[in-house]
Structure 1
């Protein structure tokens, strides 16, 4: 199965555009896990910054930065490493060094306090040309804003700059990415992101243009970062699929729906033509059979009429004969009467022209009662196996490639989770307490399509979503009106979500064999 997905990803990379333009929502989502890394000194009770750089979360408590950012703290045990999150207003938390690799300018530190961060996703595989974004805390911006030393210890949103990927090349004995997204002192250790907000490098240094040449900047490649994380037992979130913009995905989905509608119209037209041809054949056959039956009935009625006439003549002769002919008269008279009655019955019950329509309707009904083609029925109830459809999905993280769940017609999943029904759709909204993301699951039993839309929210928006979710308790399966009730209750959360998700996962489901 893994090989099949790898092949599908490779094919997808060939048919998709070269690279998706950076989506501001995705860059903002990634920025939630970007921090200011401050080297702090003390003078009595006073704490002051010595220098600072940038870092980003690869786990709730683990942060990647440059080795040169934390070098001073490693050389002087009177200095400490402080972590200032990009949002939330918390004071700086402390971190301890876990691993430092000066050879490729990477360092891993671990938060020692209560602070938890949303990890960024790392893009695996070859880096593709296109727009990139650098996120961090450049010192020249701090100076331009007039921030003093105390401001460094307060949460500030990181600065985002855009540029283009210029290539990959070894530099200073390690693999780097060359790009044009402006960075400055203080950006060191911050992430370089692709269009989906996934890490493709760790910003490290820039060229010295001397004021005359165009400037380029270097980021440590993920070919250096991923082995460094594995060597230090970090289970990072890794995405190995091409980045797609939601606009491209929506356009492809519209084209797919239009294509399906065209195919449906063509099938309907073909079926209508087939029905017309079948009806014409049925009419010809019915008309021929009715004509044959009519002629046969008339001929038999004529023969029976002749027989009745002959029998009547015999009866008349027997009567004229007097004694001895009574028995023969009775037999012949009976035969004449029966033959006459049957002849009249055949004549008056012979098929008429209206019989043609009845026989056509019967023939058409027999054909229409034939079983539907395979796959014509809806998914229905029972256990389902769902496979991720890469062509219809926008993958930002590392999703499950297959899902299994049971579905009931009342919207009960796995016998315990009720889905809401509103606006013709089945859905369930999930607002976790340990993750800064809201997921909206939707299922269409008619087409067997399961979809997950994930919204990566900042702390303020996430707090509002949790507050809205806390105002209701989802009804349990089998409760009266559970589906419609939950459909109404969930609207309080969905009304707070952005217009478009950061990630959309579409699965095709079928009954489990």
Structure 2
């Protein structure tokens, strides 16, 4: 099934979309001349169309204003690069504003599928009755859905043809895939004379990526398949069911093998014990018969010649010794309980007790690698993770994890990024997992305020894990029901 856009992903990408305003100056009074849209490719760098900033290039007296959405203050920007041939421009923010950069979709441009245009169309401003001063006020961008109609190079540059409506003012805004990743930069529309269907063009990433790299901007490119979180959850449920089914089948197979092994061991033990018992009884009888014969001989020697007492006693002693040996052979024959002991010994794993078993929840030195089929990555930078874990939930001897409901987790609310991450670790299964929530500015401020109310306990302090598990509750309660990203890693011990 084709991926359907999730509003949370589009909203997360829209946090980095800005209005780009060309500003004139009339004797110290600033006024907007025109505007378009741009989006962040780094914290302080915005991409837009070359034609959006064309007037500022021609007239040094004009300035460029960057108006973020979500309540931020407008700041100035300066042009750092323009490539008119493919209608791209790069603007550097000169104020203190920092934006969450959008990720670019990797691979070939899409030839079909749903897309979303995000930007500031002028016809919407006019319909709302906004005046010129409102352009400098922070407002949410407009989102419109459509479909890719094909990747079609124009005469000048590589473009994507789509039906996600754009208008004047949308120029320079991102065209997003269902996961909120940029597939192109909206540029222009087809003529609609005579009621023809409307089509629109976006500069494809094939043009955008080289342009960025040529100007020392390394974009974050995500080539992973776009999958919804619902699909991922369903796949995870299927995987767990398969694992449980396989575990049950393996358990049944092992139980059957153990039953067969026990029956064989029981049969062998019974045969061996019964044979040994019979052998001991037979030996005792033989010894008694020999002892009886020796006794008769000793008696005959005594009766034949009482003077041969010494010889008679020797033979009689041998007879008595054989009687004792016969009694011992009979008494030491294996009992029926020996069968159970031999079966138990046969059922023991020969490897039991050999070597030192690694404690699943003990101290570990781990290397963790992403499992793509279990993960959903829309903008996060992914790389292998190394860390040391202790049985009391301490990572690298400095970061304590909280324990709540039998799970180890740590909430991270950074000041330099508009995203809350909840990392968890299962030491028994060796699974490290990070859920990322890409929050708007206001929600991020609330999360930071909740996080500032407590200090995480130091590693090794009294009852640190349980205390931190309780302290993190307020931040967790503020997060949306569903994360934007899920990164699942499988961990193994480092050599």
Q: Which residue of 2 aligns with 1:195?
A: 178
Whether 1:254 and 2:237 are equivalent positions in the alignment is yes
Distance 1:202 1:380 in 2: 51
- Give the drift of 1:216: 0.8
How far the C-alpha of 1:59 sits from its partner, in A, is 1.3
Equivalent residue of 2:346, what SS? helix
**In the alignment, is the contact (CA less than 8 A) between 2:371 and 2:490 conserved in 1?**
yes
State the distance in 2 between where 1:355 and 1:59 align.
77
Moved more, 275-284 or 321-330: 321-330
> Do residues 64 (structure 1) and 52 (structure 2) align?
no
Pick from 418, 421, 446: which aligns with 2:400?
418
Aligned to 2:274: 291
Aligned residues of 2:363 and 2:388 also touching (Cα < 8 A): yes
Question: What does residue range 150-169 of structure 1 map to in structure 2 within 5 Å?
Answer: 150-169=133-152
| Distance in 2 separating the partners of 1:119 and 1:279 | 64
Q: Return the alpha-carbon distance in structure 2 between the equivalents of residues 74 and 232 of structure 1.
A: 18
TM-aligned CA distance change 1:460 to 1:366, over 3 Å = closer
Structure 1 residue 483 corresponds to structure 2 residue 473:
no
- Match of residue 441 from structure 1: 423
Maintained 8 Å contact 1:379/1:511: no
Kindly report which structure 2 residues correspond to 1:23-422, keeping only aligned pairs within 5 A, or say none.
23-90=6-73, 92-128=74-110, 129-210=112-193, 212-321=195-304, 323-365=306-348, 367=350, 369=352, 378=360, 380-422=362-404
Distance in 2 separating the partners of 1:491 and 1:35 = 34
Q: Which residue of 2 aligns with 1:468?
A: 450
- TM superposition shift of 1:348: 3.3
Task: Decide whether the 8 Å contact of 2:109 with 2:205 is kept in 1.
Answer: no
The verdict on how the C-alpha distance between 1:475 and 1:379 changes in structure 2, with shifts beyond 3 A counting, is: closer
Partner of 1:499: 481
C-alpha distance in 1 between matches for 2:407 and 2:303: 92
Q: Secondary structure at the match of 1:325?
A: helix
Judge conservation of contact 1:386–1:507 (CA < 8 Å) in 2.
yes
Distance 1:366 1:36 in 2: 71
Structure 1: distance between partners of 2:117 and 2:294? 114
Contact 1:36-1:55 within 8 A present in 2 as well: yes
Q: 1:218 to 1:275 in 2, by over 3 A?
A: same
SS of corresponding position for 2:376: coil
Report deviation, 1:356.
1.6
Q: Could you say what secondary structure the match of 2:480 adopts? A: coil
Q: What 5-or-longer segments of structure 2 have no aligned partner?
A: none
Deviation at 1:368, TM superposition (A): 7.2
Provide, for residues 212-253 of structure 1, a one-character-per-residue CA deviation record: whole Å limited to 9, x for no partner: 121111001111111111111112222222222111211111
> Residue by residue, what CA displacement relative to the aligned partner does 1:269-328 show, whole Å, maximum 9, x if unpaired?
110011011111101110111121011101100001112211222232344346313223
The whole-number CA distance in structure 2 between the counterparts of 1:507 and 1:85 is: 35
**Superposition deviation, residue 89 in structure 1:** 4.5
TM-score calculated relative to the size of structure 2: 0.95
- Distance verdict in 2 for CA 1:379–1:217, change over 3 Å: farther
| Cα displacement (A) at 1:124 | 2.2
How far has the Cα of 1:494 moved from its partner? 1.3
d(CA) in 1 for partners of 2:96 and 2:351? Answer: 68
CA distance in 2, matches of 1:196, 1:322: 117
Post-superposition CA distance 1:382-439 (Å, at most 9, x none): 3211111111111112523312111222211112111112122111111111110111
Q: Which runs of 4+ in 1 moved over 4 A?
A: 374-377
Contact 2:376-2:485 at 8 Å conserved across structures: yes
After the TM superposition, which of the residue ranges 35-44 and 220-229 deviates more from structure 2? Answer: 35-44
When normalised by structure 1's length, the TM-score is: 0.92
User: For residue 3 of structure 1, what is the aligned residue in structure 2?
Assistant: none
Q: Report the CA distance between 1:512 and its aligned residue.
A: 1.3
Question: Contact conserved, 1:379 with 1:510, CA < 8 A, in 2?
Answer: no
Report the alpha carbon displacement of residue 377 of structure 1 after superposing the two structures with TM: 7.0
Q: Give the length in aligned residue pairs.
A: 494
List per-residue Cα deviations over 1:347-400 (Å, max 9, x = no partner): 23322333222211121125473769x999748533211111111111112523
